[in-house]
Amino acid sequence: MPKFAANLTMLFNEVPFLERFALAREAGFDAVEFLFPYAFPAAEIRRRLDAYRLALVLHNLPAGDWDGGERGIACLPDRRAEFRAGVAQAIEYARALGVPQLNCLAGKAPPGVDASVLRATLVDNLKFAAAELGKAGLKLLVEPINRHDIPGFYLNGSAQTLAVLDALGAANAYLQYDIYHMQRMEGELAATMQRHLARIAHIQLADNPGRNEPGTGEINYPFLFAWLDRIGYGGWIGCEYKPATTTAAGLGWRRRMTA
């Protein structure tokens, strides 16, 4: 049976962030994830995790000026010091919140910078992050994102991301596989997840088109959930989708598709 984590950045967004933990528990989730905790004291988040008996399964490293349109800084040659400071901040939060893994967003490729420089910067930054996270007993995840939603994002496919992880050579570095993003970029969802199962530490979902809940688009989620059970995926599946109406109204897919 798949294990689903509510993505609190996107779900229950009808209410302020710190109120979403209670709603996730009321909806039957045992775990949550979100993009960033840094706007709140770790103790405030920890109190809610404990009060509602929720595991936190994932959050991201700091990713630059998110509200200003940045989507990560790991590939940016002029932001190395900021990236390393962000790794330290993320580890501090991870220790306080009990999260076992942190995701790194590579960022958008800046114009005019040679591709080899971007790749070398990314690999060097990821080596640093993997080493620091390893000292703390944490996994480092790296996520490819489709270029339609985020034009210019440096990592767009599973093979490209795995090649970066090969160059990294860190035992605690894994692929974060987002079904929605990879449907838009490459398809072959079931075969790709099976082929790289040992290198996938976390999966996220949304349907396509629209990035709404499963059952609203073209992806055969009942098949994929059964497939992931069949091939032995034991990790969490983060529900990182935009509710088509309200979060509560769209949650029936879990019962229908996993019965």
Catalytic residue among 14, 33, 143, 186: 143
| Run of H or E residues at 102 | strand 101-104
Task: Record the pTM.
Answer: 0.96
Estimate the crossing angle of helix 115-135 against helix 80-97, to 10 degrees: 30
Could you list the mean pLDDT of each consecutive 10-residue stretch along the chain, which spans 259 residues? 95 97 98 98 98 98 96 97 98 98 97 95 98 98 97 97 97 98 97 98 98 98 97 98 95 90
C-alpha to C-alpha distance for 102 and 112, rounded to whole angstroms: 30
| Run of H or E residues at 60 | strand 55-60
What is the pLDDT at residue 184?
A: 98
What is the pLDDT at residue 150?
A: 97
Domain map of the chain by residue range? Answer: 3-258
- The class of domain 3-258 in CATH terms is alpha beta
- Clarify whether 132 is annotated catalytic: no
What is the pLDDT at residue 1?
A: 79
Provide the 10 A C-beta neighbour count for residue 61: 26
Q: What sign results for the dihedral spanned by CA atoms 46, 49, 52, 53?
A: negative
Q: Are 144 and 161 in contact (CB under 8 A)?
A: yes
Closest to 203 in 3D by CA, of 246, 232, 244, 163: 232
- Clarify whether 26 is annotated catalytic: no
Strand 101-104 with 139-142, pairing: parallel
What is the pLDDT at residue 7?
A: 98
